[in-house]
Chain A
Amino acid sequence: MGNEAPIAEDAAPVADFAALRESEKFRTLKRRHRSFVFPVVIACLLWYVAYVLLAAYAHDFMSTRVFGSVNIGLLLGLAQIATTFIVTTWYVSYANKHLDPIATEIRDSVEIPEALTDKAGR
Chain B
Amino acid sequence: MLYMEAASSAPGNPILNIGIFLGFVAITMIIVFRASKNNNTAADYYAAGRSFTGPQNGAAIAGDYLSAASFLGIVGAIAIQGYDGFLYSIGFLVAWLVALLLVAELLRNTGKFTMADVLSFRLKQRPVRIAAATTTLVVCFFYLLAQMAGAGGLVSLLLGIDDKLGQSIVITVVGGLMILYVLIGGMKGTTWVQIIKAVLLISGAAVMTVWVLALHGFNLSALLDHAVATANNPAILDPGLKYGVSDASRLDFLSLGLALVLGTAALPHVLMRFYTVPTAKEARRSVVWAIWLIGIFYIFTLVLGYGAAALIGAEAIAAAPGGANSAAPLLAFELGGPLLLGLISAVAFATILAVVAGLTITAAASFAHDIYASVIKKGKARPEDEVKVARRTVVVIGIVAIVGGIGANGQNIAFLVALAFAVAASANLPTILYSLFWKRFTTRGAVWSMYGGLISAIVLIAFSPVVSGSPTSMIPGANFALFPLSNPGLVSIPLAFFLGWIVTVLDKGVESPEKQAEMEVRSLTGIGAEKATKH
Residues of A in contact with B (beta carbons under 8 Å apart): 1-8, 11, 13-15, 17-18, 20-21, 26, 29-30, 33-34, 36-37, 40-41, 44-45, 48-49, 51-53, 55-57, 59, 62-63, 67-71, 73-74, 77-78, 80-81, 84-85, 87-89, 91-92, 95, 100, 103, 106-107, 110-111, 118, 120-121
Residues of B in contact with A (beta carbons under 8 Å apart): 83-84, 86-87, 90-91, 93-94, 96-98, 100-102, 117, 124-126, 219-222, 224-225, 228, 237-240, 243-244, 250, 253-254, 257, 261, 281, 284, 287-288, 291-292, 295, 298-299, 302, 374-375, 378-380, 437, 512-515, 517-518, 520-522, 524-528, 531-532, 534
Q: Is there contact, CB below 8 Å, between A84 and B514?
A: no
Q: Is there contact, CB below 8 Å, between A26 and B524?
A: yes
The 10 closest A-B pairs by CB, nearest first: A68-B221, A63-B238, A69-B224, A17-B518, A17-B517, A52-B257, A55-B239, A37-B101, A56-B250, A18-B517
Which residues from chain B contact A73 at a C-beta distance below 8 Å? 83, 237-239
Q: Which of A4, A20, A62 contacts B239 (CB 8 A)?
A: A62
Which residues from chain B contact A56 at a C-beta distance below 8 Å? 239, 243-244, 250, 253-254
A17-B517, A55-B239 given as contacts; is B97 within 8 A of A68 (CB)?
no
Which residues from chain B contact A118 at a C-beta distance below 8 Å? 531
Residue of B whose beta carbon sits closest to that of A32: B524
Q: Is there contact, CB below 8 Å, between B87 and A52?
A: yes
A8-B380, A52-B254, A74-B83 given as contacts; is B284 within 8 A of A103 (CB)?
no
Which residues from chain A contact B220 at a C-beta distance below 8 Å? 68, 70
Q: Is there contact, CB below 8 Å, between B93 and A70?
A: no
How far is A56 from B246 in the complex, measured between Cα atoms in Å?
Answer: 10
Residue of A whose beta carbon sits closest to that of B530: A10
Q: Is there contact, CB below 8 Å, between A57 and B512?
A: no
Q: Is there contact, CB below 8 Å, between B90 and A80?
A: yes
CB of B380 to closest CB in A, whole Å: 7
Which residues from chain B contact A14 at a C-beta distance below 8 Å? 527-528
Q: Is there contact, CB below 8 Å, between B521 and A20?
A: yes
A26-B524, A59-B239, A81-B298 given as contacts; is B97 within 8 A of A41 (CB)?
yes
* A contact patch SS: helix
Q: Is there contact, CB below 8 Å, between B124 and A1?
A: yes
How far is A78 from B237 in the complex, measured between Cα atoms in Å?
Answer: 14
Q: Which of A2, A5, A37 contacts B378 (CB 8 A)?
A: A5
How far is A80 from B437 in the complex, measured between Cα atoms in Å?
Answer: 27
CB of B206 to closest CB in A, whole Å: 16
Inter-chain pairs besides A77-B83, A81-B295, A106-B527, 9 sampled, C-beta below 8 Å = A20-B527, A48-B257, A56-B253, A63-B237, A67-B221, A77-B90, A81-B299, A103-B525, A110-B527
How far is A69 from B101 in the complex, measured between Cα atoms in Å?
Answer: 36
CB of B232 to closest CB in A, whole Å: 14
Pull 9 A–B residue pairs with CB atoms less than 8 Å apart, ordered by A.
A4-B378, A5-B374, A5-B375, A45-B94, A48-B90, A53-B254, A63-B237, A74-B86, A80-B93
Q: Which of B239, B287, B380, B532 contacts A63 (CB 8 A)?
A: B239
Q: Which of A13, A21, A69, A92 contacts B288 (CB 8 A)?
A: A92
Which residues from chain B contact A40 at a C-beta distance below 8 Å? 97, 101
Which residues from chain A contact B257 at a C-beta distance below 8 Å? 48-49, 52
A7-B379, A59-B238, A69-B221 given as contacts; is B527 within 8 A of A111 (CB)?
yes
How far is A59 from B243 in the complex, measured between Cα atoms in Å?
Answer: 11
Q: Which of A6, A26, A74 contacts B379 (CB 8 A)?
A: A6
How far is A51 from B437 in the complex, measured between Cα atoms in Å?
Answer: 28
Which residues from chain A contact B101 at a C-beta distance below 8 Å? 36-37, 40-41, 91
Which residues from chain B contact A48 at a C-beta distance below 8 Å? 90-91, 94, 257, 261
Residue of B whose beta carbon sits closest to that of A6: B379
How far is A92 from B281 in the complex, measured between Cα atoms in Å?
Answer: 10
How far is A2 from B90 in the complex, measured between Cα atoms in Å?
Answer: 44
Q: Is there contact, CB below 8 Å, between B379 and A8?
A: yes
Which residues from chain A contact B244 at a C-beta distance below 8 Å? 56, 59
Which residues from chain B contact A85 at a C-beta distance below 8 Å? 291-292, 295
Q: Is there contact, CB below 8 Å, between B521 and A26?
A: yes
